[in-house]
Amino acid sequence: MNFLSSLDAGDRRLLLWWVGIGLALAVATGWLLPDANDNDQLTPSSYLAGQHGARAAYETLLRSGYQVERWERPLSELAATAGPDTVVIFAEPFTRELSDIQAVRRILERGGRVLSTGFWGGFLLPGGASGLPKEFTFAPCKLEPAGLDPLANSGEVWMIPEATWQVGNPAQHVEYSCAGQPAVVEYNWGKGRAVWWASATPLENGSLARADNLDLLLNSLGPRAGHHFYWDESLHGEMRPEWSYAEGPSLRLLQFGLPVLGLLVLLSFSRRSGPVRNAPLAPRTAPTEFLQALGTLYRKAGASSTAVAIAWEQFRRQSLRLCGLRDSRMNAAELAATIRRRFPEADATLEADLADCEEAAEDEELQPHAALKLTQKLHRHHEDLLDAVRRGRKQGRSTHTHSEKQERAS
């Protein structure tokens, strides 16, 4: 028994070819997709499990009972519902949009708490004074406590600073420093509280378990009870929407693969010589509906005399044909005389009715009910003439039969 024996050989071969191509595309997609464990990805996203990702920190918060979720929609929506129970984490955000800066400002003014890291994280905060460090260090720096707030008592913290903070505002407290440059800053804004880190190193997967980095994260977020935590992914560029996972090589494969798949479907169903089933027949309109439509047309156009003229012309031609004459132009009187000679037993009102019809055909102010009566009279006279012709034919056949019987008898 062959595979898919219900298909003919050509269709089965075509199906197997395209199944093989689909499997090859799936393998290529899996091979070319970015690896979540790749250490070359420097974005501290909660989705990434590499050294610089932040998946471990996010899952640690979940397992510790924090009410935390990822935020991938516009920040303006979060700002509209923010309150004193709102805590937002911006791990190395990147944005220059004024709408995002205003959204963070509204969150703080409504009593929310914000943790932001890096140079652009300081740019995102209201009243921020982040800048580039005087010296770039590529080795972890053991931060030195520089404040008296509880945040400065988090313990031993290691960080690779990527930015610094311009000191000058007494309301902004430097909690930790590295080589004399601010590394952790905390200050109030409106009803809320803002915390800035010089980089996201303490919450990255490769550094979270080192020394007391986790304690710094938890102290920066504040108390767990009664708060809702949002890990922002909307400002990580390509990682905002869920469809972002289709970008890159996989999206290009889809862009080329879907048209080819559509062409395959088109070729598969267009190889037949004709349609699979007959097209349905269009229903014919009933005669009564046609007459109603025609009557409505005449009524709207005010053409009652036209209807009588058509009926009168049709009656004239049929009557002359019954009389055995050629079609010729006759008035009502001449036509009545011709019919009377051929059918002496015709109705006595024939002459008067024909004269009325001829006159009504020229009357543009004729009323519909009068036109209907005249048309009915013409129809009745025509039926009478047809009956007379039928009676004459029957009498002729009976007389012919009687004469044949007499001839046989004789």
pLDDT in tens, 192-238: 999 999 999 999 999 999 999 999 999 999 999 999 999 999 988 64
Dihedral pair phi/psi, residue 366, rounded to 5°: -65, 135
Phi, psi of 169 (to 5 degrees): -95, 120
Question: In whole angstroms, what is the distance from residue 258 CA to residue 213 CA?
Answer: 47
Which residue type occupies 238? E
Determine the Cα–Cα distance for residues 166 and 119; give it in Å rounded to an integer.
12
What are the structure tokens assigned to 208, written together?
């979270």
Sheet containing 144-145: order of strands: 68-71, 228-232, 86-90, 113-117, 192-197, 181-189, 173-178, 144-145
| Planar angle of CA 190, 193, 198, nearest 5 degrees | 125
Rg from Cα positions in the chain: 49
25 confidence band (pLDDT: 50, 70, 90): confident
Task: Kindly tell me if the per-residue pLDDT of 184 is higher than 60.
Answer: yes
Tell me how far apart the alpha carbons of residues 386 and 388 are, in angstroms, rounded to a whole number: 5
Stronger pLDDT, 24 or 38, i.e. the higher one? 24
Decide: 353 and 376 in contact? Cβ < 8 Å.
no
In contact, 100 and 75? CB cutoff 8 Å:
yes
Q: Are 126 and 104 in contact (CB under 8 A)?
A: yes
156-185 CB burial, b ≥16 within 10 A, e <16: ebbbbbbbbbeeeeeebbbbbbbeebbbbb
> Which of 27-31, 59-63, 367-371, 377-381 has the lowest average pLDDT?
27-31
139 three-class SS? coil
Which pTM value belongs to this model?
0.52
The string of pLDDT tens digits covering residues 124-156 is: 999 877 877 766 666 789 999 988 888 999 999
Structure tokens, 3: 């595979």
Decide if pLDDT at 37 tops 70: no
Helix ranges, 131-248 (H) = 213-221
How far is the C-alpha of 371 from the C-alpha of 303, rounded, in Å? 10
* pLDDT top residue among 402 and 110: 110
Q: What is the predicted pLDDT for the residue at 33?
A: 58
Residue 72 backbone zone (phi > 0: left; psi -120 to 50: alpha; other: beta): alpha
Q: Which residues contact 282 (CB under 8 A, 6 or more apart)?
A: none
